[in-house]
């Protein structure tokens, strides 16, 4: 079931920009973890399954953003997918 498109009000537009910043900023946490893994070359205490699930979840949100053609969801989840993939790669390389 689809709903009619909501009109673009100044409040909706401003909140969309705010959510873009929050979405990108919040997903930068993946990069902090990836940076730690790659600089220390150690990922023993990082949960592989947690980040595989995180990747699956943000990839699902990315696809949902594509379906909705929502640039905020698309942008934020591209950042998250790359970051979570880096953590997974780091765990696979240095998870001894």
Domains, the chain, in order of start with CATH, read 10-94 (1.20.1280.290)
Q: Does the structure show a pLDDT above 80 at 5?
A: no
Residues 48, 53: Cα–Cα separation, whole Å: 9
pLDDT band at 6 (very low <50, low <70, confident <90, very high): confident
Residues 25, 50: Cα–Cα separation, whole Å: 20
Query: How do residues 13-40 score in pLDDT, each as one tens digit?
Result: 999 999 999 999 999 999 999 999 999 9
pLDDT band at 1 (very low <50, low <70, confident <90, very high): very low
Residues 71, 1: Cα–Cα separation, whole Å: 21
pTM of the model as a whole? 0.87
């Amino acid at each position: 079931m689809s709903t009619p498109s909501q009109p673009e009000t100044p409040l909706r537009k401003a909140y969309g920009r705010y959510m873009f910043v929050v979405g990108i900023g919040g997903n930068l946490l993946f990069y902090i973890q990836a940076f730690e893994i790659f600089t220390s070359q150690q990922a023993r205490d990082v949960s592989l399954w947690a980040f595989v699930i995180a990747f699956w979840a943000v990839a699902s949100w990315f696809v949902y953003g594509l379906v909705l053609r929502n640039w905020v969801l698309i942008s934020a989840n591209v950042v998250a997918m790359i970051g979570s993939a880096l953590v997974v790669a780091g765990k696979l390389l240095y998870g001894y």
